[in-house]
Amino acid sequence: MKRVLIIISMFFMLVGCNVLTNLKQNNSVLKNLPSKVTINEGEYIDLIKLTLPDDVKEEELTYKISTSVVDTTSLEGGEHKIVYTVTDEDGVIKTKEIIINVRSLFDRLNHLLQHDSLTVDDYLEATKLMFELEGANIPEDDNFGDLLHQFHILYSESFIIYDDELDLNILNKDLFYEDEDFLFLNEDKEVIIKYKNLSKKDVIIPDGVKVIGFEAFCQTDIESVVIPSSMETIESNAFRLTSLSSVYLPENVKKIGIEAFDYHNLNDLSVSLDNQYYTVKNNGLLSKDGKIFYRLSGKHNDYSIPVGVTVIARKAFSNKHNYDQLSHLGSVHIPDGVVVIGEEAFEYNSLINLTIPDSTKAIGRAAFYSNNLIELTIPNNVVEIWPYAFWENDINELTTGTGVKIIENHAFGANDLTTITIPEGVVEIKNAAFCSNPTTTVFLSSTVTSIGIESFNYAAISNFQINENNHHIKVQNNGILSYDGTVYYTYIGKQNKYDIPQGVVVIGFKAFSCANLSEVTIPDTVTTIEKYAFYQNQLRDITIPENVTEIEEGAFLSNQFYNITILGDEKRFNDQWSLIGFPNRLLP
């Protein structure tokens, strides 16, 4: 009997120890997390690894870690709350929030402008920003425009002088160091910023050089290059627009920028076996552990991504600046195990068919931008579809899984969808998510709570239905309204004359924008008309009810008014009359 009791006691001790161990693991994992992490916009970091010591691998864990954001490459500039959830084998759950600070172009430019002049140490950062600005969508922000102008002045005054003899702007060589072949950033010649000797097509980079700067060899006729073992960083565009067909990366290279080479021309890309950061497999540049696929080299119409890859990095298969159709992908096999398809990963290819594996959780911003996809199925595990992910394809049949909560801006725009069915689970459809499709029929599930402006091509829609169990929004009198009828979101009708339903209190942002209305009746229940609500119509007469106390900027801009009647205090909008969009000649 004693022996039985001892065995039982030992069992409970072991179980108790296991629970305590898991709890300790949970607490220690969250304790390891920094409170704030800063990255540059477009940068990928493995959020799970932030919780782990260097000698611990995720697959060895006895507990599960999940994060509220999977793909960091698609995060916009600003601060983002990331929620970590740790669950042990016994179902004990711990959570913690950290902040990911994403440094936008604005932030990085502003940081450099804190100096009166740029130092040579700022040069690499400045040229990286120049590269990113080339393809950037400049924000519609006067402050950004002013900042950009100031940055260009500072950059020019710091590094560029005008040469009267050559009649052009050149680098101020007094700030740099040079020899017969290269212009260096500093006197110890560790950073090459420009290749000078354009007559040499076979280049040997001197031992001791650690960095090849942005566009250092770009648009030169070099045919071969020997990179020394001292090399650590090859910046973006370093060897673009050259005739390199073979590159060997030595053991100390640990950072390679976006579009560092014309990868489609590289028939032979190899990496030292002693390199601890990169490897080459099946013509792909991968992280040493084989989990991150950085870039495909060579010309391929069909390609299979190596098994073991979990992250397809930003621009891994991009052909944005490559017009050689022979190197555009017609098909790709993405293996099971891939979790993240990063920003712009497959943009500007010729993909027709695509199977996204069940393991995938995130599809990045513009990941499949401008391809030829026809049918698409989004697996249930996908929780993130970022803006422009499938913009400008030929998709006519779409099946969306149950994991997606938000359909982001322009995600499926410019396709061939005639029928769109939003499944259960989707909570929010953001602005222009399905714009520029020939859609005639839309079915929304019961879980959808909001629809952004211009989410669908409303002019073509003849059948717009919302699940009867949806208690967030409804269709009434050819409009999408809040369920209680107080907020008017979007007009989906085609009539030129329209009566807004009684009970509406707020006419929302762009609710009737570009609706071709010639007459509209606003009920006396309305108190607020938001920005651009009636922008660009054919309205000639309008009566504003007495209860309307707020009309926002541009609400009636671009119409053809001959008469405006303001009930109640007819002068209550005089101070913002032209801002609203009313012609001054009709001012009371």
Q: What is the DSSP string of 419-462?
A: EEEPPTT--EE-TTTT-SS---EEEE-TT--EE-TT-S-TTT-S
Q: Provide the pLDDT confidence category of residue 158 given band limits of 50, 70 and 90.
A: confident
pLDDT score at 422: 94
Q: Provide the pLDDT confidence category of residue 19 given band limits of 50, 70 and 90.
A: very low
pLDDT score at 3: 40
The DSSP H or E segment spanning 148 is helix 142-159
Q: What share of the chain is helix, strand, coil (3-state, %, to 5)?
A: 15, 25, 55
Provide φ and ψ at 373, rounded to 5°: -65, 140
Give 433-487 pLDDT, tens digit per residue.
Answer: 999 999 999 999 999 999 998 999 888 899 999 999 999 999 999 999 999 999 9
Q: Mean pLDDT throughout 215-231?
A: 94
Q: How much of the chain exceeds pLDDT 70, in percent?
A: 92
CATH 2.60.40 domain span(s) along the chain: 2-102
Kindly give, in sequence order, each residue whose CB lies less than 8 Å from that of residue 347, ignoring residues fewer than 6 positions away: 315, 318, 319, 320, 366, 367, 368, 369, 370, 371
pLDDT score at 323: 73
Q: Mean pLDDT throughout 409-436?
A: 95
Q: How many other β-carbons are positioned within 10 Å of the β-carbon of residue 323?
A: 9
Size (the chain), residues: 588
pLDDT score at 25: 52
Write down the CATH number for the domain with range 2-102: 2.60.40
Kindly give, in sequence order, each residue whose CB lies less than 8 Å from that of residue 294, ignoring residues fewer than 6 positions away: 256, 278, 284, 285, 286, 287, 313, 316
The least confident of 184-193, 509-518, 532-541 is 184-193
Specify burial of residue 552 (Cβ count, 10 A radius: 0-12, 13-18, 19+): middle
The least confident of 55-59, 121-125, 152-156, 212-216 is 55-59
Q: Mean pLDDT throughout 552-577?
A: 95
